[in-house]
């Protein structure tokens, strides 16, 4: 074994810290629990193999551990550190036949490489693995740490600074414990984190709604350690103050017409938005600012707006359902989410804007806007969230209890829904995928094109949608429930989600209209929803439409919507989807 900082001639001692790193670096090391190896570093990764003198004929090490040539991609490495003098191996089989280690070789200078591993059985599940390498020359270890860190700096997509909100009481009140478990991963990766433990409902919303551009620009993203509700707070806190887009059309009243462009024409006064309303009970009035009153001064701190290529959102699950994490990573696992954040994974996510125009038939309200990343539901879904508020002391079980009570009441509601019906041409790409899968027998249900990592549907150029045709369709009747899913909303209660083939960034809402039907039929629908591989949409009383915009008008006395687990009282409501409005620290589900 070489002893004196051995490395390739490809390394230039007089590199002077230039940008071009060495192409290849090779040294002999002792690898913890393996033996003496030849370790090679290239720009794309590390690789090693056992020294022939330390391997038996069957290819196993002196401890009986079978080894083959092994490698780690630099893109999978999230940290490397020098840990000074200490033991590299302590194994009871040190004196096994053919083993050449002496006791003094087990203490040396060491460095560790931390990287991610994907389970073969569950590819969406990521774990952290650490390998320790030892050498009796300190400078050699330090050189390797420096070189690996140089290559890691070329991974420019990774965050360097994050704002983290921890919900201490989300789910089963495990928020702080879960953050304490994953925080060392961020420390090892040298990702700076400013941690805020929320103290009340709306804390995260208020913080993000009022944060200055200068501070927001200092972070590469914001992370929620909690459930979908905390994520929704952060999302609304940012977008309500920084997403400048016109509201969707107002639901029609008597006397309104639809013009040739399928736009609803309101003969009444035009409503303009200067700054959207804050969500929640403490709603603020609309703010209007005169351009003449603004002083034109240079702004060295650029405003943060969306869509935004740099700024990303992260979510480490500790909630009751964690549907967003299930859909965007494929695993309800805090370590997986933390590692995907650290490695700078990126995917686009559709966001829906929901606007309440009226709280009752006769009220004259200012419009109230909310954003949702997962689901907005009326009827059954609104009743369940309203009923569950009475039993918050029960924790996540309150949803099962409330759902049972609401199901037994079996209430239906008189309402009208108008939606932009997408013609077949706009879904040609999706239809083609179905035909291909059916032709090759790849699926018993070829109509489902599930969203996966590097999804072809989501990655289709958005400009391909610009010449498609659409028309406005109205449906009036009695409904048990109305749902609008941005994503599939997979969770433990609905393993395939509300809509199994909903996509993360295809620019569509999945509108689900459940018409009034016998209680037994509705139970059948709910049973299919709770089954893996179920078919909850294959009923005559269920309508499923892909749309970009819809409006809702209630004709009853009560009208409650469930928007990402929050109550929204709305007799008139409209919604529109923005394709890929935000970016997430996530890779997409592998399965």
CA distances from 345 to 316, 433, 486 (A): 14, 26, 21
Q: Which of 547, 44, 517, 587 is nearest to 325 (CA)?
A: 587
Residue with tokens 């006791």: 103
Q: For the purposes of burial, counting CB atoms within 10 Å of the CB of 208, is it exposed (0-12), middle (13-18) or buried (19 or more)?
A: buried
Question: Is 228 assigned a catalytic role?
Answer: yes
Supply φ then ψ for residue 176, to 5 degrees. -65, -40
Question: How do strand 192-197 and strand 161-166 relate by DSSP bridges?
Answer: parallel
Residue with tokens 């600012």: 289
Please give the DSSP secondary-structure letter assigned to residue 60: B
Question: For 320, how many CA atoms within 13 A lie in the half-sphere containing its CB?
Answer: 15
CB 159 within 8 A of CB 341: yes
Q: At what angle do helices 519-529 and 397-409 cross, to 10 degrees?
A: 150
CA distances from 574 to 186, 236, 367, 555, 577 (A): 41, 17, 10, 15, 11
Question: How do strand 375-379 and strand 470-485 relate by DSSP bridges?
Answer: antiparallel
Residue with tokens 């639809």: 258
Max Cα–Cα distance, the chain, nearest Å? 94
Taking the C-alpha atoms of residue 286 and residue 284, their distance in angstroms, rounded to an integer, is 7
CB 45 within 8 A of CB 72: yes
Q: At what angle do helices 334-342 and 175-188 cross, to 10 degrees?
A: 30
Selected catalytic residue, list 32, 228, 501, 510: 228
Residue with tokens 């006769």: 362
Active-site positions read 228
């Amino acid at each position: 074994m070489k002893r004196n900082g051995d490395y390739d001639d490809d390394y230039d001692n007089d590199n002077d810290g230039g940008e071009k790193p060495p192409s290849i670096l090779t040294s002999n090391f002792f690898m913890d629990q393996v033996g003496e190896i030849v370790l090679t570093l290239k720009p794309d990764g590390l690789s090693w193999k056992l020294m022939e003198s330390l391997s038996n004929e069957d290819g196993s090490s002196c401890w009986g551990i079978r080894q083959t040539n092994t490698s780690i991609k630099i893109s999978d490495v999230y940290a490397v550190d020098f840990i000074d003098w200490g033991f590299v191996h302590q194994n009871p089989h040190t004196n096994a036949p053919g083993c050449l280690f002496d006791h003094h070789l087990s203490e040396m200078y060491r460095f560790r490489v931390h990287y991610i591993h994907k389970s073969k059985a569950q590819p969406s599940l990521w774990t952290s693995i650490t390998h320790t390498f030892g050498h009796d020359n300190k400078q050699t270890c330090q050189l390797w740490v420096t070189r690996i860190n140089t290559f890691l700096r070329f991974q420019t997509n990774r965050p360097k600074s994050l704002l983290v909100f921890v919900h201490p009481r989300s789910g089963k009140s495990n928020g702080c414990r879960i953050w304490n478990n994953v925080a060392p991963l961020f420390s090892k990766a040298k990702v700076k984190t400013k941690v805020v433990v929320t103290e009340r409902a709306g804390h995260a919303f208020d913080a993000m709604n009022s944060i200055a551009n200068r501070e927001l620009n200092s972070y590469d993203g914001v992370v929620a350690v909690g459930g979908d509700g905390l994520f929704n707070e952060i999302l609304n806190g940012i977008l309500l103050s920084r997403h400048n887009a016109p509201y969707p059309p107002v639901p029609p009243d008597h006397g309104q017409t639809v013009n040739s462009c399928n736009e609803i024409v309101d003969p009444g006064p035009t409503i303009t938005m200067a700054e959207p309303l804050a969500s929640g009970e403490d709603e603020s009035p609309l703010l209007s600012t005169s351009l003449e009153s603004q002083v034109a001064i240079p702004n060295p701190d650029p405003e943060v707006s969306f869509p935004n290529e740099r700024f990303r959102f992260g979510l480490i699950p500790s909630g009751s359902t964690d549907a967003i994490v299930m859909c965007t990573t494929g695993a309800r696992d805090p370590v997986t989410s933390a590692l995907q954040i650290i490695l700078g994974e990126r995917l686009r996510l559709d966001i829906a804007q929901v606007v309440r125009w009226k709280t009752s038939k006769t009220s004259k309200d200012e419009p109230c806007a909310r954003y949702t990343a997962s689901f907005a539901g009326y009827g059954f879904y609104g009743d369940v969230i309203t009923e569950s508020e009475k039993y918050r002391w029960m924790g996540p079980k309150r949803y099962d209890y409330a759902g049972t009570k609401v199901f037994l009441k079996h209430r239906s509601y008189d309402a009208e829904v108008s939606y932009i019906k997408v013609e077949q041409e706009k879904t040609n790409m999706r239809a083609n995928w179905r035909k291909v899968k059916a032709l090759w027998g790849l699926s018993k249900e070829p109509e489902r094109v599930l969203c996966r990592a590097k999804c072809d549907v989501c990655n289709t150029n958005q400009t391909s949608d610009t010449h498609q045709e659409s028309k406005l369709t109205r449906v009036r009747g009695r409904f048990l429930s109305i749902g609008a899913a941005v994503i599939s909303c997979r969770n433990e209660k609905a393993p395939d989600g509300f809509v199994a083939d909903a996509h993360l960034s295809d620019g569509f809402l999945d509108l689900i209209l459940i018409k009034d039907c016998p209680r037994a039929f509705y139970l059948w629908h709910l049973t299919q929803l709770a089954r893996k591989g179920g078919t909850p949409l294959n009923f005559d009383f269920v309508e499923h439409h892909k749309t970009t915009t819809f409006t809702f008008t209630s004709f009853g006395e009560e009208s409650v919507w469930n928007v990402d687990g929050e109550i929204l009282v709305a007799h008139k409501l409209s919604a529109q989807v923005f394709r890929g409005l935000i970016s997430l620290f996530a890779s997409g589900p592998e399965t």
